Chain A
């Protein structure tokens, strides 16, 4: 069925067979094999790996901080990273495990369900990584029955958007992250530490380093991912979206308009980043924009996909005006 799949007036009637929709393109955009890191970032990763310290990444949203953890895992031949998505209510303990106190209590009260305390524990990203770093025999007494332990191995742990957590969160992590251990009071204050040779690789992302305490910053290898230059953007697009070519008029115009939107005086409250650019280019292709078709002169195509680039109503209006001006050459 041709695009658009959904129309304003359903004149076509209900199709006899369900419409076949395209698969998600996200997998293409997040393929770790196509991740391009600049030299500073490469060195920072190597320093973190050499020193065995957490790598703290900052930078604008959409500059590939989260994807980097996948790229590191891929390049090191590890399993995909274990991800901890920080919430505003996260505590340091949540990074290692959560315990279903209520369930345990209920089981104890009613006599139903498992009477084994271990069955009410759920290990989270760093907890899993620490357990996996040990041999099975060394930690089997702490493993719930459904925990799959495939031998001592290393893992990459991603603590995403640590700045979302309460202020105390990083401070509470200091010793545990440095020593790579945690304690479980619910299991008799058991202490589980990572095997020395198999310490997890920790990648922490934050949109800003401002809310992180100095003590925490000092324990991390820090790298701020700068927003890429235009030429670098082209390389990223070519690597991530293979069907584009370097001299594609569509790509040239799209980059031009994208960089206009990113200019400080554009008026946008939230400037689009690389991830938005990749999404936008994909959207443009989806609605039928040809690679050889310049975007300038076809504002309706860009207009229909602007919502991929700008995410608020105010910014939408500003972007529409910028697009109109850019299209007639008023903005160079």
Chain B
């Protein structure tokens, strides 16, 4: 049963909510506590604390976004604090709700095995079971039984019928055959039959490995005396020859191999170094966000900045649509009682509509301008912020979660705001005509409008002048510019233009001409790179250039790191904002991408001590992860070894990484560049491992101490973690062991030995008798036996006794036929005739089992060598009959050979041999 959700729990929960962005004040906590107490007083406090979510949400949430995730957070919190498991599936922990991750990424992160040991165990168990099942399926699945059928002289036997269960096949011209089998039909009997040979059979418990050799033999006439023909029917033999290759590998080697591989893998894994490096991918990898300690001070917090920002908040008086009674009374009295109304005024706070020109989501210039907005908000200035990209006719909100708004929409929504545009204004001028874009006029919908540009005042030119002509108040993005802005707004008029007093180096000419060129991965000529670096140094100054070089060390430009490195290099001193404005205006900071050739050039220009200091600062920053901060500098990276990729994918990834690392030496580079056909290549930071090497200049080594923190359950290599690798190896070893042992099947021994066991003998007591049914007393004599009438029959029957005294099986082969007519009647008639014959033989004093075999034929069919209208019987004795001797096959073979070959058993039998061969109907 769940414990009670107490007021202390509530306080703790509220504390945990705050880092997730909930702005919960004391008043709300008190209200929530009061709610719990009131519910308890009304006996409405739910037994399951999870039901409190809909009660607490209205008190603790203050936005739709907070409400949307509150239920999940609350349930998760309860689960983490021992309130029992929720009925619903588990949700992401609080820290995963950090902004910036897509819902899909959060979901994946929540279910990431690293965060869910139980899931990991379950997944491992499922994989193991699946592995075993697949292994058993492979071992016991469809296999083939192949072999060869030969005769006693080793000559191939064609058309032998090989059967195993219901599966049959025939041998080809070279005696070869192959039969697809599965272990599900085991145990069963393998039979081989051929009309001219004695059949062979062998019972199998398992499907043997190797080839099967079947040696078929023919029955031979042994003697002919005393009116008996004695055929020797030798056993045909089925032998198994194991595959020589199967025994080539010793068992211990098979068992040991996976262990050796595991040991090598563990050693290699332990020697790898962790690093952060830039790689390209057309697919957006699963990014993880870690928070590092943020020790940097905040921007624009200097006294002069704060004064300028506070000025923007100053209340102003506006005309109100009402009469100022006090002033009206005064003015009326002053005019001798003549009613003189005076319009009232109202004090209002100024509101600002801020439009920020954002080149990309990671545009650091836009981030800097966001800082200005944040400071304005901190000073309680009312600001509505939107973003545009070059052309403000379409603006988005911060996360582009809603439809873009047109400028006319914004004018309708915020018509009484002051318009502040953060942009260099270059896109406001048509590059071909040199005139302002037509839409610039739409900005006149706002009475007060200003453009804050990162361009320094001494370098203002045609663009700024044109925009000023359009009524747009152009100001530099600096402390002076903001102060001037406040002054202008308070004065409610455009001030006189000021002259640029300060000196400032110009923006690099190379960048101004074609900024996108310098984002390309294609390396320019060395002298061009040198010129670019010189211009950058001149523009930024020595300190700014060093800052740029420091930023080049981390694989991707990132706003928080830019700030961190700036504070690391120069401390929180005045003037940092101006340097930052100049720095983040560069195209690499606006697009969050810096080509490697430029990074190498900039790092090379850093002095050794400074480079060491920067790398040390970055390492220290990474180590702050140990403190597990929940806020601060957010780094997004992807683990290459994340367990999403396993098996061949992981191997392919590793190969790609390897090829990429040696791309200048490897031809594979060209191939691996095309790894992602579904999107343009983009730069991402990957947490990679390098085998035994120190990280290069373009990579950041990750301290070893973080390995356990980043990979609490062990990092993967080639897509496997140690536990999974050990389990896999164990399974492989077991499978190998099973495979080896299952191949050592004891070979079944032949069922008989032709040398020691007396051969089966078939005695043809009579070749042919003409016999009568009960309706007739006459029996015709053939050329050998004078018989006539009932006497002869009796005589003959009695004469059989000594002939058949030593046989095991008596088979009466009759030619019971009918005179035609309906088939059912024919069958009945033939059966009766056959039965009469068998009964006659049964009357004898014979020890052998008696079977009947009918070879009846239809009247009118001519039987070669025999009278078609005569009824004949052949009595056959079988001596030394024993198990594993297929009597039926033997007789079939015998009848197919001389002197009975003319019978054409198959053709003329009304019924199949099996119908009457083995007792059954005939003997009952």
Contacts and interface: CB of A to CB of B under 8 A. Distances in A.
A45 to B, nearest CB: 9
A219 interface: yes
B329 A105 contact: yes
A19 interface: no
B59 A221 contact: yes
Contact of A209 (B64, B321, B323): B64
A168 B349 contact: yes
B58 A221 contact: yes
Contacts of B34: 51
Interface in A205-243: 209-210, 214, 217-224
Nearest 9 pairs of A and B residues by beta carbon: A44-B58, A224-B64, A217-B62, A43-B54, A101-B325, A221-B58, A218-B25, A40-B54, A50-B38
Nearest to A221: B58
B463 to A, nearest CB: 33
A47 B55 contact: yes
A51 B54 contact: no
Contacts of B323: 101-102, 105
B572 to A, nearest CB: 28
13 contacts: A43-B55, A51-B31, A58-B64, A105-B328, A106-B339, A109-B332, A166-B348, A217-B23, A217-B63, A218-B27, A222-B63, A223-B67, A224-B63
Contacts of B789: none
Looking at B28, B39, B346, which has the most chain A CB atoms within 10 Å of its CB?
B28
B349 A223 contact: no
Interface in B303-332: 320-323, 325, 328-329, 332
Size class of the contact patch on chain B: 35 or more
A219 B23 CA distance: 12
Nearest to A166: B348
Contacts of A210: 63
A222 B349 contact: no
Size class of the contact patch on chain A: 35 or more
B264 to A, nearest CB: 53
Looking at A43, A58, A220, which has the most chain B CB atoms within 10 Å of its CB?
A43
Contacts of A59: 64
A89 B321 contact: yes
A75 to B, nearest CB: 17
A39 interface: yes
A47 B31 CA distance: 9
A269 B403 contact: yes
Interface of A: 39-40, 42-44, 46-48, 50-51, 53, 55, 58-59, 89, 91, 101-102, 105-106, 109, 166-168, 209-210, 214, 217-224, 269
Looking at A39, A102, A218, A221, which has the most chain B CB atoms within 10 Å of its CB?
A218
A53 B341 CA distance: 41
Contacts of A39: 54
A209 B25 CA distance: 17
A214 B322 CA distance: 30
Nearest to A106: B339
A46 B46 CA distance: 14
Contacts of A220: 62
B61 interface: yes
A218 B28 contact: yes
A210 B398 CA distance: 13
A74 B685 CA distance: 60
A246 B136 CA distance: 54
B68 to A, nearest CB: 8
Contacts of A221: 58-59
Contact of B341 (A46, A47, A102, A218): A102
B57 interface: yes
A5 B337 CA distance: 59
Contacts of B25: 214, 218
Contacts of B346: 91
Nearest to B42: A50
A43 B58 contact: yes
Looking at B23, B38, B59, which has the most chain A CB atoms within 10 Å of its CB?
B59
B904 interface: no
A57 to B, nearest CB: 10
Contacts of B181: none
Contact of A223 (B58, B337, B339): B58
A22 to B, nearest CB: 35
Contacts of A58: 64
B304 to A, nearest CB: 27
Given A43-B58, A48-B58, A89-B321, A109 B31 contact: no
B27 A219 contact: yes
A252 to B, nearest CB: 28
A294 B54 CA distance: 39
Interface in B30-50: 31, 34-35, 38-39
B38 A51 contact: yes
A209 B57 contact: no
Contacts of B337: 109
Interface string B370-384: 000000000000100
Contact of B325 (A44, A89, A105, A224): A105
Contacts of B35: 47, 50-51
B351 interface: yes
